[in-house]
A = this chain, B = another copy of it.
Amino acid sequence: MIIQKTENSRLSTFDPNNFSFGNTFSDHMIICEYEDGKWGDVKLVPYGPLLFTPAMMGVNYGQACFEGMKAYKDNDGQVFLFRPEKNFERINKSAKRLAMPEVTEEMFLDGLKALVDTDRNWIPQGEGMSLYIRPLIFATEEALKARVANKYMFAIVATPAKSYYADPVSVKISDHYSRAASGGVGSAKAAGNYAASFYPTQLAMEEGYDQIIWTDDATHEYFEESGTMNVFVRINDTIYTPPTSEKILDGVTRDSFIQLANKRGLDIRVEPIAVQAVLDAHKNGTLKEVWGVGTAVVTTVFKALGHKGEKLQLPSLPDDESYAALLKSDLVNLQNNISEDPFGWRVLVKKDVLETA
């Protein structure tokens, strides 16, 4: 790895009690360029702009995919990643579906650890605090031809993140717009999937909703995802979440929730969720909770579901009766080294990784 540390740290300008998520960047970034059929050296460099023309294929033809993950600092100042091998596997699954070169485990994990270790002072401490980390791969070749690019960049950038808390939101069950096609790229964390979701979400907001529950594009009869999260539904004391597929992202938080629910002995079923079954459960009073899960906020609880012009209010459960709150607490405690880790999910980021390598 080539190391070029900044001589102008911006750390003194960073107030962990007052920063905005997503556009405060840590001092460094990882970059690695792909050319002539192979990846070059991984470099740790100061975060900042690089030179790209508007003919860059990444913005012209959308060959771009990413991951979202976090590093957590415990009470003793130790820093942990959470299941980073899952993100490594998934970025390569996304890359493959978009005909992009896969990254090596060494590039991905060593790059990640080097960045997190070097910028460990950027990780805010305390409940809900973390460093949000964004690995991505995008086509950098300059060419105006709709074909697979020959040049790419793998990069990792990071931004401090705070507070898991998200207000309960109202979500609209989509009856027209869709996130993914059968035989499409829904299971990839493809850049284009996000842009495609913004306009339908804006329309839902104009109707008084915060997010969309995406349904299958052919019939709109089955839940797929919610916003940019995987979706869970609790009917009586049974939790349902749809099976992953080529249309549904294999979320790390989703998988963790399933394993944590199983560990608690909860009845959790990975099964298709029919819109009608949810509506029926609402009608007969057995619909207890609906929520989304993802890396950024962990859990967003839904307070209302919109369906074809009707807004169905959901129960507001106290935390000690909510499975969403229970599983979120289990996950957050594990991530922050407050509880045991029987799964081996936490990965300690050693100090001075670069010096001792």
Q: Which residues of A contact B (CB under 8 A)?
A: 21-23, 25, 29, 31, 47-55, 58-64, 66, 68, 96-99, 132, 134, 136, 138, 141-148, 153, 155, 157, 159, 174, 176-185, 190-200, 202, 217-218, 228
Contact = CB atoms under 8 A, between A and B. Distances in A.
A308 B1 CA distance: 48
B146 A194 contact: yes
Contacts of A183: 174, 176-178, 200, 217
Contacts of A143: 22-23
A22 B147 CA distance: 11
Contacts of A51: 49-51
Nearest to A21: B145
A134 B144 contact: yes
Contacts of A153: 54
18 contacts: A31-B54, A48-B53, A50-B52, A58-B58, A59-B138, A60-B191, A60-B194, A61-B191, A62-B190, A98-B198, A98-B199, A144-B159, A178-B184, A180-B181, A181-B182, A182-B217, A182-B218, A185-B196
Contacts of A59: 58-59, 64, 136, 138, 191
A46 to B, nearest CB: 11
B54 A155 contact: yes
Contacts of A192: 62, 185, 190-193, 195-196
Which of A61, A155, A174, A190: most chain B CB closer than 10 A? A61
B21 A195 contact: no
A345 to B, nearest CB: 23
B53 A195 contact: no
Contact of A199 (B96, B145, B182, B199): B96
Contacts of A141: 23
A137 to B, nearest CB: 9
Contacts of A55: 23, 25, 134, 157, 159
B136 A98 contact: no
Given A148-B202, A183-B176, A196 B98 contact: yes
Contact of A62 (B25, B191, B200): B191
Contact of A217 (B145, B148, B218): B218
A153 B49 CA distance: 16
A63 B195 contact: yes
Contact of A184 (B23, B48, B53, B196): B196
Given A143-B23, A177-B183, A62 B60 contact: no
A99 to B, nearest CB: 4
B136 A54 contact: yes
Nearest to A194: B61
Given A62-B64, A190-B195, A191-B61, A132 B157 contact: no
Contact of A52 (B52, B145, B193): B52
A40 to B, nearest CB: 15
Given A53-B157, A177-B183, A181-B217, A62 B193 contact: yes
